[in-house]
Every structure is written in C-alpha cells, then in structure tokens.
C-alpha cells in the first residue's frame, strides 16, 4: 500500500483546478484529484463550482482571470462551454462535447476525457473496441459521445438500439456523416433478434437501472445476452445493475462505469500537469471510490 504523504499546505504557489456544473454537490471528482495531488506531493487543490446555465461564459472568463489551471465540466455545460474555448481537441470537436479544459495561452483547450477514460477503463478490463461488432444501447447524450468513440477507435460495426428508431437513425446518420463512414446502423430495441448472428461487445448507455431503479434493464430477454461476449454498463451506482446480472447469468464478461469515472479524472489530471499516474495509484483511488459509492447507496 502506497504511503500517504503529508497534506499539501495551501500557499501562494498552490495550483487550483475544479469542476463546473449544475449540480455538483455529489461529485466524486474531488476524491480523485485531491487524492492524486496528495499522493504525488503536488501543490494543487481541486474544488467543485456550482455554475448556473446562464453563467457559463462568466465562469470560463473568470476562471482564466483567476489563473485556474484546469477545469472539468459536467452536466448541463458540456456543449455550452464550447463557444468560449480557445481550442478544441479533434475527438471533442467531432463529439461536440467536452468535460476537461486545459489552460493555454489566451484561454482553455477542450478535451473529452469521458471518452478516453471509457477507452482506458475498457483496456484495463481487456475489452477491445478495434475490429469489434458493437451494440450500443441508447441514443442520448452519452450514447452520442460513445458512438463517435467507437468509430474513432475502429469498431467494425456499430448497431445503435433505441426505443425510438428515429432518434437512433438520426444519431447513426450524424456519426456516419461526420466520420465519413457507413459502419453505424440503427434499430429499435425490440429488433435485436434480426441483428447478424455474431458475438457482440455491448455498451449500455441509458439511465435504465440507475439507483434507485435497480430492478430494471433496458432489455430483459435472456436471449439478447447470449449474443454478447463482453459488455460495459456506464452506470456505477448500483455497482451491479440488472443489465450486469443478466450478462453474468450467461457468462458474459461485464464491468460498470466506475472505471470510466476514474480514468476520465486521471486523464484530466495528466493533461493539466504533464504527468503520468501509475497503475498502483489508479487502483488505490478506485478502491476508495468503490467504498464511497457503496456507503452512499
């Protein structure tokens, strides 16, 4: 177990990073970043800032004026901040949403470490994207970002399954057009039996099953889960959703979204500070996050 270093004393050299969103009261991000800073011996503190929808521009300009080194961005501001940024990372530009801002000359550069964090979390679980046939459940905001990531990471095919076919089709068309591909297809949730007879990676990106609605899954039929050989539920509370239980019932490897939450934060910290956080510290923080979410359920 890594020995905890002495808590950083805040002084005139302390770097400030933070989170803007509405709400921010229950965020786990301070646990991630302040623990990393403490363990690394970095003179840095991380603070959540509650920012109303109509104050986003003020918040970005104010943060730069106050010499804030970096920011995370959560709902509902992930797209709203973009007009006020100096630069955009190519993945974030295609997705049209950012969650990490890095201070550059004259403003901030926007990144989407939600998606790089998901990729990193999947790699940690030995779940690959490249050359895979993928089922994406849902066509909302999270699904949109994940669909772009899947194409960006060279998935062989992506089937977006959603209750509303029109919404799934609109997302598939947008991703195909933006990424100049044709690998993304749309279908209704109940049309899964008509998918090609293959083994799929499945990413569950809806809010179905989120605490306290723990007894629901977006697809309940056990036959669906027999089409899978690996799965991710981006929900992390509860730690095991009904979707995950249904996966495990037929031997499908599955993980929840806590790793994604961890690694989006780790990626942000590395971008802000130009450092690499080792696997041992990541594992230590992951355990702290598991304990914290278990207590709050």
The string of pLDDT tens digits covering residues 223-235 is 999 999 999 999 9
The verdict on residue 163 lying in a domain is: yes
Question: Which residues are designated catalytic?
Answer: 78
Give yes or no for a contact between 263 and 236, defined as CB atoms under 8 angstroms apart: no
For residue 155, the enclosing domain spans: 116-256
- Percent with pLDDT over 90 in the chain: 93
- Alpha carbons 267 and 272: distance in angstroms, whole number: 9
- Alpha carbons 240 and 210: distance in angstroms, whole number: 10
Confidence category of residue 50, pLDDT binned at 50, 70, 90: very high
CATH number for the domain harbouring residue 163:
3.40.50.720
pLDDT in the model for residue 9: 81
pLDDT of 5 strictly over 80: no
The verdict on residue 20 lying in a domain is: yes
The verdict on residue 226 lying in a domain is: yes
pLDDT in the model for residue 213: 86
CATH number for the domain harbouring residue 88:
3.40.50.10860
> DSSP class of residue 257?
T
pLDDT in the model for residue 286: 97
The string of pLDDT tens digits covering residues 11-27 is 999 999 999 999 999 99
The string of pLDDT tens digits covering residues 163-172 is 999 999 999 9
On average, the pLDDT of the chain sits at: 95
Confidence category of residue 293, pLDDT binned at 50, 70, 90: confident
The verdict on residue 140 lying in a domain is: yes
pLDDT in the model for residue 7: 57
The verdict on residue 4 lying in a domain is: no
pLDDT in the model for residue 294: 78
Which conformational region is residue 13 in: left (phi greater than 0), alpha (psi within -120 to 50 degrees), or beta?
alpha
The verdict on residue 136 lying in a domain is: yes
- Residue 218 shares a structural domain with residue 150: yes
The verdict on residue 10 lying in a domain is: no
Confidence category of residue 8, pLDDT binned at 50, 70, 90: low
Domain count, the chain: 2
- Alpha carbons 224 and 24: distance in angstroms, whole number: 36
Q: Does residue 42 sit in helix, strand or coil?
A: coil
- Residue 154 shares a structural domain with residue 266: no
pLDDT of 175 strictly over 90: yes
Q: Residue 82 half-sphere exposure, CB side, CA atoms within 13 Å?
A: 16
pLDDT of 41 strictly over 60: yes
- Residue 151 shares a structural domain with residue 241: yes
pLDDT of 244 strictly over 60: yes
pLDDT in the model for residue 6: 56
What average pLDDT does this structure show over 242-251?
A: 98
- Residue 104 shares a structural domain with residue 186: no
pLDDT of 210 strictly over 70: yes
- Residue 247 shares a structural domain with residue 278: no
The verdict on residue 1 lying in a domain is: no
- Residue 207 shares a structural domain with residue 138: yes
- Residue 127 shares a structural domain with residue 233: yes
pLDDT of 297 strictly over 60: no
Give yes or no for a contact between 231 and 252, defined as CB atoms under 8 angstroms apart: yes
- Residue 130 shares a structural domain with residue 231: yes
- Residue 95 shares a structural domain with residue 30: yes
Q: Does residue 245 sit in helix, strand or coil?
A: helix
- Residue 30 shares a structural domain with residue 66: yes
- Residue 28 shares a structural domain with residue 107: yes
What average pLDDT does this structure show over 211-220?
A: 93
- Residue 137 shares a structural domain with residue 239: yes
The string of pLDDT tens digits covering residues 51-79 is 999 999 999 999 999 999 999 999 999 99
């Amino acid at each position: 177990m890594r020995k905890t270093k002495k808590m950083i004393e805040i002084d005139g050299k302390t770097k400030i990073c933070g989170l803007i969103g509405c709400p921010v009261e229950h965020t786990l991000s301070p646990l991630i970043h302040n623990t990393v800073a403490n363990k690394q011996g970095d003179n840095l503190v991380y603070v959540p800032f509650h920012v109303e929808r109509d104050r986003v521009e003020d918040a970005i300009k104010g943060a730069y004026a106050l010499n804030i080194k970096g920011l995370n961005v959560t709902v509902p501001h992930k797209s709203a901040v973009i007009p006020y940024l100096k630069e955009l990372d190519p993945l974030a530009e295609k997705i049209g949403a950012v969650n990490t801002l890095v201070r550059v000359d004259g403003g901030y550069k926007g990144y989407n470490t939600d998606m790089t964090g998901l990729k990193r979390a999947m790699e940690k679980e030995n779940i690959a994207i490249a050359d895979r046939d993928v089922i994406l459940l849902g066509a909302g905001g999270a699904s949109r970002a994940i669909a772009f990531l899947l194409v960006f990471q060279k998935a062989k095919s992506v089937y977006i399954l959603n209750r509303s076919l029109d919404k799934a089709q609109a997302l598939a068309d947008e991703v195909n057009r933006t990424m100049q591909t044709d690998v993304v297809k749309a279908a209704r949730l109940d049309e899964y039996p008509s998918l090609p007879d293959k083994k799929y990676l499945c990413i569950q990106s809806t809010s179905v099953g989120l605490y306290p609605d723990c007894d629901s899954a977006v697809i309940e039929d056990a036959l669906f889960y027999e089409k899978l050989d690996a799965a991710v539920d981006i929900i992390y509370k509860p730690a095991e959703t009904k979707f995950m239980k249904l996966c495990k019932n037929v031997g499908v490897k599955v993980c929840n979204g806590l790793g994604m939450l961890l690694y989006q934060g780790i990626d942000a910290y590395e971008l802000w500070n130009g450092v690499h956080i080792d696997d041992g510290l990541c594992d230590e923080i992951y355990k702290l996050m598991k304990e914290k979410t278990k207590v709050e359920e």
